[in-house]
Structure 1
Amino acid sequence: MAKDESNTVRLVGGEFYGCVEMYDNVTQQWGPVRGWSLWGLWVDDEHEQIMARADFACKNLGFPGWLATTAYQLSNGTAHSNKWNTVDFQHLTNHYEPSYSSTVPKFILSQHLPTTDGATLHDAIERVVRGPCQSNDYSCRAYYTMCLACAGKQNNGNSQVWTNASSGQATTSEPSTSTENPKPCGDFPWDTDDVTVDCDYDYHDEIQYGDRFVLRGRCTVACHREADLLVGPPYAPWEISGPSLEDGAYYCNTNNRTWFGSQPVCLGQYNNATMVTDESKTIRLVGGEFYGCVEMYDNVTLQWGPVRGWAKWDRWPMYDQRMGWTDLACRNLGFPTGLATLAYLLTNGTVNYEGYATLEDLSWHYEPSYPSTVPKFIASAYLPTTDNATLHDAIDRVVRGPCQSNDRLCNRPYYTMCLVCAGQQNKGNSQDINAQVTCTSDYILVSFPRPTDNSIQTADVQLAAPPCSAEENSTHIYIQAPLTGCGTSRQDTDDDIIYSNTMIINVNASSAVITRHRFIEISVECRLPRRKSVTVNFDPQSSSVFRSHIVGRGEFVISMELYLSNSFRSPVSDYPLSVELGQMLYVQLQVTSDDTNLQLFADTCKATPTEDPDDSNVLYHLIRDGCDQDSTVARYWSPSTLEERFGFQAFAFTSGARKVYLHCDVLLCNATDPTSRCAQGCQAGRRRREAEGDTDVYLLIQGPIVLNDDQTAHDDASTRHAGSMVSFFMGACAVMVFVAMLTGI
């Protein structure tokens, strides 16, 4: 049992649910709290009052708020489906109905809750009946006992988190009982990374729903621009007047200080290539990872077809009845339950409000196109009531061939069952598959240890699309996905190019005639940063060893090679390499990848006398923000977007440094995107957006490079000022060397 601080109120039955009892100092006994009606539950005003008392009692017990006063009775863990049967839609009191002796005190609730600050459940008690109940005292009867479920965890003493009473979601601050509080319901409780929230706490309006009550505050949410639909804002029955509550906004009800609505969920675009199937592969959800339209498999025609038969227009009370089918379908697909059948249409991530057309039926928005020859599975008017029923049991008939003209349930696409499921799909024992992903510039390699019982063979492992097949060695099973095949998809972000695929494992498929195991789906993803820093160096008249072909160790393989000819046919291979000041050097940057839609772009190339590409003492830019900074830089045509070529005249530093290092920051883009950074070319003055951590990961060093004494340029003035540097090119360097020889320096 849960007790309050003073131990005068307790909840008996479970950790957060049960029946409320109070302690009577006169008889020194515990007794039940009674006085709220079961039979008037569907009267809106009385329902509101019951909820308010439940909230009041739970907060007295140290919980954030109330969760429920009604519940569905379960058989073998499954709820009865006929909600209009009062045996199934159980009031907690009717189910528990604790037995008390006639001598215990009965605490009878008042018809009105106290409004003073700091009031407790004692202040809500109108009278105490000590002894047997009178025959005409209905409020004293057993089925009027206060039994409820509280939300959240009990906080003994210092309750600081309050809960949205309409959904059980926690808010971040304690609501005030005063309607003058600009935030009577606390801050918006569902402010997550997936949505953008804009709250107007000065909003004020009244609404008619039973008794009049006041709305104070309105919050709107927006999704990312790629989202199509928004689930979560409140759905209002027709009885409510005032604000329609169908504008995609959330409202605060100051009567019970709760938010209308549930946690917002953004739905992406419909994709008929995305499918979620049940373990028997006879039911599937087409459209997204947890949303879309339901299809079933017909063993007669050997085809998939839509489930139809629920109407769009009769939204009340049909909306509640539709949710019964939604729960059944989602549970069949391995989800905990259904989430919604209605959603708000979005434009650029915000609600596109055009009257009642905004509250979109998912099938009305998606309206998938099917040929007339596919089977149509028509849902029954009644849900099955047997335990362990599936969606197959809810199908009244199957129409094979074109629909009859008068068969509305069959021939209207907007009667197709499209819905959103809640939670994460249970995809079997994927936690037992310890998969590892290796990312390269050409492929994604997924591997996992071979099960000791040989329950998984290579034939059981596949990717999202053929023809890739798995292989094995003595310890592991592995499968390789090319970046441009076998179902691999690609997404470009500011920092990364993301390749993703799905590995599907059919456990026991090849080792048995039948299987009762689920298909295990493991999503794999490779994020390859779009930026790299690579370095080469050159040696003016140097006798040191020069390493030419240095390749980055990042996920993308990028190389930078030097050539002595603009034909770019033979990279430098004979060392030591000796170049004259002013001699042309040619650079080729190249990414090695199977993805031919990549474009390589030299964003910045700079020279330093040390291995540090950000040497603060001496640094000289050849290319900056894609723009040529050195007058000798020449660009050359490349036969592939995977390469970039340029040349420049060799130079030396006036500081007397004997080494020259060339560093290039390389950016990768989508070659088919005309708006990409690579396509934009020179962007003078643009602040380059560095990918976090690239310098440490991709910095490539060549050298050391040691200049001969007669090729090292000295300048006393620049030596005294180490922070300044000047590059010497063909003519200028020749003059300085000549002067040095004359003066004997």
Structure 2
Amino acid sequence: TGMKTSVTSSKTRNWSCGGNLFGSGTFSSPNYPSYYHDNAYCMWQLRAKLHADLLFLKSRSMLENCCSCDYIEIYDGPYVYSPFLGKVCNNSLSTFFSTSNYMTVVFRTDGSMVGRGFNAEFTSSLTPSSVDCSSDNMNIVIEKSYLNSLGYDGHSLYLNDPHCRPQISYYNVVFSFPLNTCGNTREFENGKIVYTNSLRAYNSNYGEITRQSNFKLNVNCRMEEDSVSQILYEVRELENTTITGTGRYNTSMVFYQSSSFYYQVTQFPYEITLNQNLYIEIDMRRGDSSVVLFIDTCIASPSAFDFQSRPYYLVRNGCPIDNTYYAYTTGTSPFARFTFKAFQFLRATEDVYLQCKVLICPASDYNSRCRRGCTKRVARDVGSEHESETLVVGPIHLLGKCDFVLYANDEQYVFLFIMSTVIIL
């Protein structure tokens, strides 16, 4: 007896979804974190708080591995024909900003396979200035009333690259751009990657000099452990203002059909056989040649909630433990690839879960932990604190004597085919 991964829609629906939401809060797909329904159509209309003309949406999704089958669409306004912000499918952590006080979110599914759905959080931007970063984008939000109080407007703002222009709404000015564009500079501080930009404004576009105090915001994205810490401070005369936010590195883990790593596995669920080679790639959603990824530790367990009672190590501290584990690429590229043979635990259910810890280091640092490879003993890191975000791969489920099927399960936020702890060094 195995788990089922498809849900048959009944003729009479006893579930509902969608609606109008205001200010800030959360919403999710039907039945989340359990499996959603076939042929679902849900639409949420989000509206910002009074005097806040911008919405910030962050979603975690675990959908069928088919972008034309089950997906989420986000629109910058109150209608589905408002400007299109983006599409979310498969398994991802996504962030969106509106340029108005409305945002529309649509969730569609087809009549075949299903997943566990998504959970989303939305907030209204009310702070005078803020910055949000991920490995994908830097997003800077300035309240227009704050600018006006200083004698500036949105049209007078520019970044290090003056060709990068903001989106200006009634209440806010928003810069949103990839980390490696718009004049961002990249530095390494104590092994950490730091992206820096400056936001400036002048009272006049005429003349060559000025003796007036000018507006300047220095924006830093400091990549630490598995998250991104941002510090934004204002340089204006002798006064400084500090605003701090947090974000996450966006990484993904996907299965491939062979050791060529050319064709991704699109089948859902992924049916495999005992002793079959599994081919896995881990990377950041936006490639960055300035960093390398290193597979530190991967643990298998018969439980998604307990990796301590019966841990089985595939690799530990970069050292292969399982004799079928092999790393094709680790510690030398902005992605990591490995393989191992499918197996089952004795005296347990047919389910196997995998937890992997991945380190991210500057590519230019040849003395980093990523470059040292296998280490039998790990020195205590006195210079940093480690946090982790957990994503799940598994279970690998034994259907019969030789057939497996791969499912997603969840602890808190669970992503199909992924369980990784990312640490920036």
TM-score scaled to structure 2, two decimals? 0.53
- 1:574–1:564 CA distance, 2 compared to 1 (3 A): same
Residue 666 (structure 1) aligned with residue 361 (structure 2): no
Give the greater-gyration-radius structure (CA): 1
Amino acid across the alignment from 1:676: S
Q: Report what 1:523 is aligned to.
A: 218
- Check the 8 A contact 1:560/1:588 in 2, yes or no: yes
Amino acid across the alignment from 2:325: V
Supply the distance in 1 between the matched residues of 2:273 and 2:297 (Cα, whole angstroms). Answer: 24
Shift of residue 618 of structure 1?
0.9
Q: 338, 341, 348: which is aligned to 1:649?
A: 341
Q: Report what 1:585 is aligned to.
A: 278
Residues 463-478 of structure 1 correspond to what in structure 2 (within 5 A)? 463-478=159-174
Shift of residue 479 of structure 1?
2.3
Q: Report what 1:618 is aligned to.
A: 310
Shift of residue 574 of structure 1?
1.4
Supply the distance in 2 between the matched residues of 1:466 and 1:514 (Cα, whole angstroms). Answer: 18
- Check the 8 A contact 2:288/2:334 in 1, yes or no: no
- Check the 8 A contact 2:167/2:175 in 1, yes or no: yes
Supply the distance in 2 between the matched residues of 1:576 and 1:470 (Cα, whole angstroms). Answer: 42
Shift of residue 513 of structure 1?
12
Shift of residue 709 of structure 1?
5.5
Query: SS at 2:351's partner residue?
Result: coil
Shift of residue 484 of structure 1?
3.2
Q: Report what 1:131 is aligned to.
A: none
Q: Which has the higher helix share?
A: 1
Shift of residue 586 of structure 1?
0.7
Runs of 5+ unmatched residues, structure 1: 1-431, 533-552, 713-745
- Check the 8 A contact 1:459/1:510 in 2, yes or no: no
Supply the distance in 2 between the matched residues of 1:622 and 1:554 (Cα, whole angstroms). Answer: 30
Shift of residue 569 of structure 1?
1.9
Residue 596 (structure 1) aligned with residue 292 (structure 2): no
Supply the distance in 1 between the matched residues of 2:164 and 2:208 (Cα, whole angstroms). Answer: 24
Shift of residue 519 of structure 1?
0.8
Q: 110, 121, 138: which is aligned to 1:444?
A: 138
Highest RCO, 1 vs 2 (Cα 8 Å, sep ≥ 6): 2
Residue 558 (structure 1) aligned with residue 254 (structure 2): no
Residues 337-376 of structure 1 correspond to what in structure 2 (within 5 A)? none
Residues 104-253 of structure 1 correspond to what in structure 2 (within 5 A)? none
TM-score scaled to structure 1, two decimals? 0.31
Query: SS at 2:371's partner residue?
Result: helix
Supply the distance in 2 between the matched residues of 1:637 and 1:594 (Cα, whole angstroms). Answer: 15
Shift of residue 711 of structure 1?
5.5
Shift of residue 521 of structure 1?
1.6
- 1:625–1:513 CA distance, 2 compared to 1 (3 A): closer
- 1:634–1:673 CA distance, 2 compared to 1 (3 A): same
Shift of residue 620 of structure 1?
0.9
% identity of equivalent residues = 31
Q: Report what 1:574 is aligned to.
A: 267
Query: SS at 2:322's partner residue?
Result: coil
Residues 416-435 of structure 1 correspond to what in structure 2 (within 5 A)? 434-435=128-129
Shift of residue 439 of structure 1?
0.1
- 1:671–1:639 CA distance, 2 compared to 1 (3 A): closer
Query: SS at 2:273's partner residue?
Result: coil
Q: Report what 1:265 is aligned to.
A: none
Supply the distance in 2 between the matched residues of 1:493 and 1:514 (Cα, whole angstroms). Answer: 34
Supply the distance in 2 between the matched residues of 1:617 and 1:639 (Cα, whole angstroms). Answer: 29
Supply the distance in 2 between the matched residues of 1:709 and 1:689 (Cα, whole angstroms). Answer: 46
Q: Report what 1:632 is aligned to.
A: 324
Shift of residue 560 of structure 1?
0.7
Supply the distance in 1 between the matched residues of 2:191 and 2:354 (Cα, whole angstroms). Answer: 24
Supply the distance in 1 between the matched residues of 2:164 and 2:332 (Cα, whole angstroms). Answer: 27
Residue 488 (structure 1) aligned with residue 181 (structure 2): no
Shift of residue 518 of structure 1?
1.7
How many residue pairs get aligned? The number is 258
Query: SS at 1:679's partner residue?
Result: helix
Query: SS at 2:265's partner residue?
Result: coil
- 1:602–1:513 CA distance, 2 compared to 1 (3 A): closer
**Superposed CA offset, 1:580-610 (max 9, x none):** 2211111111112353211111111111112
- 1:594–1:571 CA distance, 2 compared to 1 (3 A): closer
